[in-house]
Amino acid sequence: MKLLVLGGTGFVGPALIDEAQKRGHTVTVLNRGHQPPPPGTTCLTGDRLSPAGLTALTGGTWDLVVDTWSGRPSAVRDAARTLDGRAGHYTYLSSRSVHADTDTPARTEDDPLVDASPDSDDDGPYSAAKRGAELAAEQNFTGPVLLARAGLILGPGENIGRLPWWLNRLARGGPTLAPGPEDLELQYIDARDLATWMLDAAEQGAAGPYNVVSPPGHTTMAELLETANEVTGNHADLHWADPQAILDAGIEPWMDLPIWLTGHDYAFMHGADVTKAQAIGLKIRPVRETIVDTWTWLQKIGGTAPQRPDRTPVGLDPTREADFLKSMQQK
């Protein structure tokens, strides 16, 4: 098949292109040309935020389109309009963040969504931008539109730094704060599994919204950190701490301690029903494979993961961590 990837040089894009090429698909990418195009692809240059930024698309036709955009919805609207009649299927990489913040955290694709406009030129808030982009794709592309609502995405190439931070922290060794409870169930998806599912679903002609993460309880906080510690050399001495003690110390879930969440946020992020995606082939690799491959990639690139410029770097300051562990010992 002929695949067009709008973007393609970030995190999920390269995983998608790699999987597509393994299947023998011909891959074209459209981006601003600020980074080298993925090997073996045809690269079209265009800035989606400029008036003529999609001109390069007007001479081609494709079987499948995957759009990884995460900014203003109007950019997706314009791409969908330009590609309408030029492509057979449109996949938009969305997010479970499109769900409204209600007393009962969203589990299924049918739960309430945030209000958003497909014509908005506003990059945020993230939830409204993603939901607006979903609407933009559905309303401006007459073929099937697949909405892949991912949650926490991990794996080699991660440019937000969540799993890379933990791997580097554990490799540094010594007393290490481990946020409990140890049996806290986690839900995420490896970028490569996400890429595989998106292509499988698009090739089947699937349309509509799908939660695309691992089943709830795919791993636990203990399995994640203990496996990561083993893979990085068993240098860290994990000190498991009660969630409330961590919160009382002003240490923030998600940002200071990546992946870890509590309360309502935890129930939302790690409680999605994925039976719909599983019904059309969603498969998830073991957590050990994701950890090993991410650590191998990190070492290959020198240990420092790339950082998306639009995301705040994550990770707990070493001094704050040491102070908290010292306070634990004194109690």
pLDDT tens column, 27-40: 999 999 888 888 99
Q: What is the mean pLDDT of the chain?
A: 96
The pLDDT of residue 14 is above 90: yes
**Which residues does residue 253 pair with via DSSP β-bridges, in sequence order?**
257
What's the CA gap between 182 and 19, in Å, rounded?
Answer: 34
35-44, 56-65, 131-140, 224-233, range with the lowest pLDDT: 35-44
The pLDDT of residue 310 is above 90: no
Taken in order of first residue, the domains within the chain and their CATH numbers are 2-150 (3.40.50.720), 158-185+216-270+288-330 (3.90.25)
**Which residues does residue 64 pair with via DSSP β-bridges, in sequence order?**
3, 89
φ, ψ for residue 124, nearest 5 deg:
-150, 170
Q: What is the distance of C-alpha 114 from the center of its chain?
A: 19
Query: Which of 236, 94, 239 is CA-nearest to residue 178?
Result: 239
**Length reported for the chain:** 331
Query: Which of 199, 195, 130 is CA-nearest to residue 156?
Result: 195
The pLDDT of residue 303 is above 90: yes
C-beta pairs of 323-330 under 8 Å, 24+ apart in sequence: 324/177, 324/241, 324/246, 324/249, 324/251, 325/175, 325/177, 325/239, 327/249, 328/239, 328/241, 328/245
Per DSSP, helices labelled H in the chain are: 12-22, 73-83, 126-140, 162-172, 191-203, 221-231, 243-248, 263-269, 275-278, 287-300, 318-330
Kindly report, residue by residue over 70-123, the tens digit of the pLDDT.
999 999 999 999 999 999 999 999 999 999 999 999 999 999 999 999 999 999
Amino acid identity, residue 109? E
Q: How many CB atoms lie within 10 A of CB 252?
A: 13
What's the CA gap between 288 and 229, in Å, rounded?
Answer: 11
C-beta pairs of 169-174 under 8 Å, 24+ apart in sequence: 169/236, 169/315, 169/316, 170/225, 170/228, 170/229, 170/232, 170/235, 170/236, 171/232, 171/233, 171/235, 171/236, 172/235, 172/236, 173/233, 173/235, 173/236, 173/237, 174/235, 174/236, 174/237
Percent of the chain whose predicted confidence (pLDDT) is above 70 = 100
197 contacts 262 by C-beta, under 8 angstroms: no
The pLDDT of residue 8 is above 80: no
The pLDDT of residue 162 is above 80: yes
What's the CA gap between 260 and 313, in Å, rounded?
Answer: 15
Helices 12-22/191-203 angle, 10° precision: 50
The mean pLDDT value for 302-320 works out to 93
Helices 162-172/221-231 angle, 10° precision: 60
Residue with tokens 């309009």: 81
The mean pLDDT value for 160-164 works out to 96
pLDDT at 34: 84
pLDDT at 251: 98
The mean pLDDT value for 235-245 works out to 98
HSE value, Cβ hemisphere, 13 Å, CA-based, for 284: 21
pLDDT at 151: 96
Residue with tokens 């995301």: 311
Amino acid identity, residue 276? K
What's the CA gap between 225 and 301, in Å, rounded?
Answer: 22
The mean pLDDT value for 301-305 works out to 94
Q: How many CB atoms lie within 10 A of CB 107?
A: 17
Place 136 in a pLDDT band, splitting at 50, 70 and 90.
Answer: very high
pLDDT at 37: 83
pLDDT at 33: 84
The mean pLDDT value for 185-197 works out to 98
